[in-house]
Amino acid sequence: MESEFLNFAHSLADLARSIAIATFREDIILMRKSDTSPVSNIDLAIERKLFQMISSRHPSHGFMGEELGEFRKESPYQWVIDPIDGTSSFIAGKPTFSILVGLLFEGVPILGLIDQPITGERWVGQIGKRTELNSNPCSVKSTVTPFLRLACTTPFMFKDSEFKIFERISSLASSTSFGGDAYNYGMLALGHIEIILEADLKFYDVASLIPVVEGSGGIITNWQGDLIRKDSFDGRVLATSNRTLHNSILKQIKDHF
């Protein structure tokens, strides 16, 4: 059953990738959602296609998508889809957006794919297994290093008190980069980033990232150090390359937030 779900997840990502490649840097229709964030006709097309595939192959499984919402919530298995994570990057022609495919069992993320169609990179995380990038095992940079690389999608995601925390953590890092969205978590799993600090995320933004980060040896929690789960997620994420670093950042948050 595990291999069946993994193969199906690859099929979902393959279809989404083909649509993204065909429309990348082409004319698209851009709209704004009720929260003023951008959405394109490509986001909608991909999610509808994947919803149709899931409903056909696994009609009893639940579904959560950024654009379509939730269906069959009572199912123990629930697929979580973000058709284009980083729509702002996609519409700007930047190859740092991602397609996210995740699977929950009784609310726990057990499978996650991060796919970057243009570079051809696909991270696969499965609970209890080593994360792979294009079938090759990958690991975080687990040793504590004085050169810390911090990443987040945008500083605009932080409210006033949250931004003070971000400034504090950024002052401790050797470099801070913005942009990348879910792609940052693939880079953490590959050992090129040590800290990701974010706020104002939705569960569909992070569900597929959890198995990828954990399977590479990284740590991913909310700002209180708790595991991220759908029903209790507050939008804040801390992902790091090792437990010692993670605990140190959590202490900074607790002391200053």
The answer for residues whose C-beta is within 8 angstroms of residue 175's C-beta and 6 or more apart is 147, 148, 149, 150
Task: Report which residue type is found at 203.
Answer: F
What is d(CA 208, CA 101) in angstroms, rounded to the nearest whole number?
A: 6
CATH number, position 10: 3.30.540.10
> Which candidate, 112, 117, 79, places its Cα nearest to that of 98?
117
- Which domain does 124 fall in, by range? 2-137
| Angle between helical axes of 160-172 and 243-256 (0-180°, round to 10) | 140
**Looking at the 3D structure of the chain, how many domains does it have?**
2
Residue 213 lies in a domain: yes
Q: How far is CA 112 from CA 58, 115, 182, 209, 227, in A?
A: 17, 10, 12, 6, 16
167-194 mean pLDDT = 96
Q: Could you report the per-residue pLDDT of 89-124, keeping only the tens digit for each?
A: 999 999 999 999 999 999 999 999 999 999 999 999
Q: Could you report the per-residue pLDDT of 117-173, keeping only the tens digit for each?
A: 999 999 999 999 999 999 999 999 877 778 999 999 999 999 989 999 999 999 999
> Which candidate, 67, 74, 29, 76, places its Cα nearest to that of 47?
67
Residue 30 lies in a domain: yes
Contact between residue 15 and residue 35 where contact means Cβ atoms under 8 Å apart = no
Verify that 202 and 166 share a domain, yes or no: yes
Global confidence as pTM: 0.95
Q: Give the tokens for residue 116.
A: 């970057």
Residue 77 lies in a domain: yes
Verify that 125 and 246 share a domain, yes or no: no
Bridge-based pairing state of the strands 108-116 and 98-105: antiparallel
Helix, strand and coil in the chain, % to nearest 5 = 35, 25, 35
